[in-house]
Structure 1
């Protein structure tokens, strides 16, 4: 008998965020130049420009367009308790997906993923991208994408601060981007709830071809990752040279590190704890980007997925809503095509 799919109502991002992600983001936020960068980002209206460009060049998923992908998104949002972003498909021969948009958050799946990945692996990818939303990564991802091309164009000089400051800022963003991926791989696993699926998806990202995928082995992949970690043939000086010449420029960790990171997290027992309902809760939805609303009674700002204010208990939503499903456990009205309540996780 298959294991029932689990949802994690009110789960905080702290339940799965990687310590290295948190440390790298803390270091990035301490850079004196960052507040100015954020202000310049908003002054440039880049958020609106980026959304307009994407919505003109990509196909938006809905109940009428790619309904299977749209259903997968809704189920993943219900699993992680994340406000629903927009979902798009965009042509590209490269295996990739990304999340963007501060005021209107959206996920883009590049078309090659749809052709090469199974539905379960796509659920892992969608869950990974929702992890960026859950962890509050989206603004910083957009800043990184905007700043790095700018630094390259003007000789790695950022806002007149000089080459060294520009290099430091770029290095800080790249280090954080790599560490953030470990948190989001965990989010992907929490959505697909199958370790083999997560490892298979990671293997495909590294191999770049599915022609001989029936001949691949996740056990061999993990063995390779462990051997590389134990003895990659580099001493301290060689590792430093490799980092300075190559690794520091990467936006994603190398695939062997991602596979080992996911496997280590599972072996730590933290994954099973979350599956069993033992996780830190975020009663106000404060760790998430996405839709927010305010309790009319006590003015607490809440995630739009939360109906009853945890501070005063007030019902923050109108009792009459144009929805076709109703959760009998928490009395929440829901869209017609979801399987799990976005508030309490009950099957509807």
Structure 2
């Protein structure tokens, strides 16, 4: 850096160290023209919908559908990126910028491919106010909490499944959420979306894209993936020299994203639950955990062997170290203070509750006893009522007929003291064309048609039981006028 070179970033104002060619905060090249980090769609400052600054939007709308402008939580609200940025993440990003081959690849991908091409290659659904609005509203809230000025595009794809990734270039970013992750609840999704908004705020989109182009799609790639013998090949040595810095940065960038997700959801229990389910790729695993054993394993992970294994065997932070760093971040006083600020402004946006100012009218009046019992037919639900005085006592059931002309079921009603009644069952239909008898030998029930006994003093009937087959002598009963159940004149529809 020459003496007349600026000592601060002309884009974000971050101080620069001698010899730096890129800003350690926003990634802008030293001496380059300031460029917006958030997605830019040609309406900024001239948006016909919001005016470019939300002045034309009602206060109830935090998002402009035309230019994707986001309303901050409050007029003076600002979430500093340095608070969310993990120290080792910032150091790893500086190492990437100072690496000639990786930096050249990043510039080539940004110039020749760009975010529009990457975004068009997403095989999934684009979310918005009219497409999965509940999920999109959670994404808008997460973006506002981490302090984004413009809303990145949000997609959900079946190609990603359990993955959640932020891609883009120097001009903007977009987020792809795996379709399996949609099974999480609203609070859990807020944490996942907050993580991706943290990637956007920290400037990870371009380096995520570079890592995907240079190392492939695998999220479990390691520099030891082909064994120690790979280092005999000079080409593999060069490849590993390129991959190692990208893998180191990818591990540390996840810690920054975890911090952003934690500050969005504000609940350490949800952070731990989602991290465990996500890492294990299993929703039921959380119900089978022994929490005491988990805490012991987290405590045992603080040693050099675990750190060396993580450095050589993965581009993701190991689960136990990740859980420990999440717990340490959530236990800080800064985290508590930020959550108080966020909760205050989120609560201030909620519409006020309508308070009933009417004076109470007094105690509820007791129902007037008019001497009737009110019920509903258990067959057709027809409302009915009848005079309680029809009950002769509190033991015998009263038979009443449903007043519904399409039902006309006979109901057995038994009194339920002191002033109510209960329908027990529908009375069985009477069959006047047959006689119900029991075999005198085997006691099997049987029916005899009255027509078979008409004009006879007796008739011979064989028991239908194949093990009995006794011949029975049946005499017709004496003639009796069948009792007809009259319609109850006191029974009528309510």
TM above 0.5, yes or no, is: yes
Number of the residue aligned with 1:282: none
- Verify the 8 A CA contact 1:77 1:130 in the aligned structure 2: yes
User: What per-residue deviation string (whole Å, max 9, x for no partner) do you get for residues 105-130 of structure 1?
Assistant: 21111111112x22111100000000
Q: How far off is 1:239 after superposition?
A: 6.6
Once residues 307 and 129 of structure 2 are traced to their aligned partners in structure 1, the CA distance between those partners, rounded to angstroms, is: 50
Number of the residue aligned with 2:256: 183
- Verify the 8 A CA contact 2:160 2:177 in the aligned structure 1: no
Select the residue among 151, 155, 168 that pairs with 1:88.
155
User: What per-residue deviation string (whole Å, max 9, x for no partner) do you get for residues 181-236 of structure 1?
Assistant: 10110000111111101010011012322235334366653432122225xxxx76
- Verify the 8 A CA contact 1:90 1:108 in the aligned structure 2: yes
- Verify the 8 A CA contact 1:75 1:340 in the aligned structure 2: no
Which is worse superposed, 123-132 or 41-50? Answer: 41-50
Q: How far off is 1:13 after superposition?
A: 0.7
- Verify the 8 A CA contact 1:85 1:105 in the aligned structure 2: yes
1:115-134 matches, within 5 Å, as: 115=183, 117-134=184-201
Q: How far off is 1:267 after superposition?
A: 2.8
Number of the residue aligned with 1:195: 268
- Verify the 8 A CA contact 1:120 1:197 in the aligned structure 2: yes
**Structure whose alpha-carbon radius of gyration is higher:** 2
Number of the residue aligned with 1:52: 120
SS class of match (2:156): strand
Segments of 4+ moved more than 6 angstroms: none
User: Which is richer in helix?
Assistant: 1
Q: TM-score scaled by structure 1?
A: 0.66
1:22-61 matches, within 5 Å, as: 22-54=90-122, 57-61=123-127
1:91-106 matches, within 5 Å, as: 91-92=158-159, 94-102=161-169, 103-106=171-174
Distance 1:16 1:133, change over 3 A: same
Q: Give the number of equivalent residue pairs.
A: 261
Number of the residue aligned with 1:207: 280
Once residues 72 and 249 of structure 1 are traced to their aligned partners in structure 2, the CA distance between those partners, rounded to angstroms, is: 34
What runs of 5+ residues in structure 1 fail to find an aligned partner?
1-5, 279-338
Distance 1:255 1:206, change over 3 A: same
User: Which is richer in strand?
Assistant: 2
Number of the residue aligned with 1:265: 329
Select the residue among 131, 134, 137 that pairs with 1:71.
137
Number of the residue aligned with 2:447: none
- Verify the 8 A CA contact 2:115 2:168 in the aligned structure 1: yes
Query: Per chain length, whose mean CA-contact separation is higher, i.e. which structure has more relative contact order (CA < 8 Å, sep 6+)?
Result: 1
- Verify the 8 A CA contact 1:95 1:205 in the aligned structure 2: yes
Does residue 109 of structure 1 match 2:177?
Answer: yes
SS class of match (2:208): helix
Distance 1:220 1:347, change over 3 A: farther
What runs of 5+ residues in structure 2 fail to find an aligned partner?
1-71, 227-233, 351-494
Once residues 60 and 33 of structure 1 are traced to their aligned partners in structure 2, the CA distance between those partners, rounded to angstroms, is: 34
Select the residue among 201, 209, 214 that pairs with 1:142.
209
Q: How far off is 1:104 after superposition?
A: 4.5
Once residues 137 and 292 of structure 2 are traced to their aligned partners in structure 1, the CA distance between those partners, rounded to angstroms, is: 31
SS class of match (1:65): coil
Q: TM-score scaled by structure 2?
A: 0.48
Distance 1:258 1:347, change over 3 A: same
Which is worse superposed, 72-81 or 122-131? Answer: 72-81
SS class of match (2:121): helix
- Verify the 8 A CA contact 2:276 2:286 in the aligned structure 1: no
SS class of match (1:88): strand
Does residue 14 of structure 1 match 2:82?
Answer: yes
Which is worse superposed, 173-182 or 252-261? Answer: 252-261
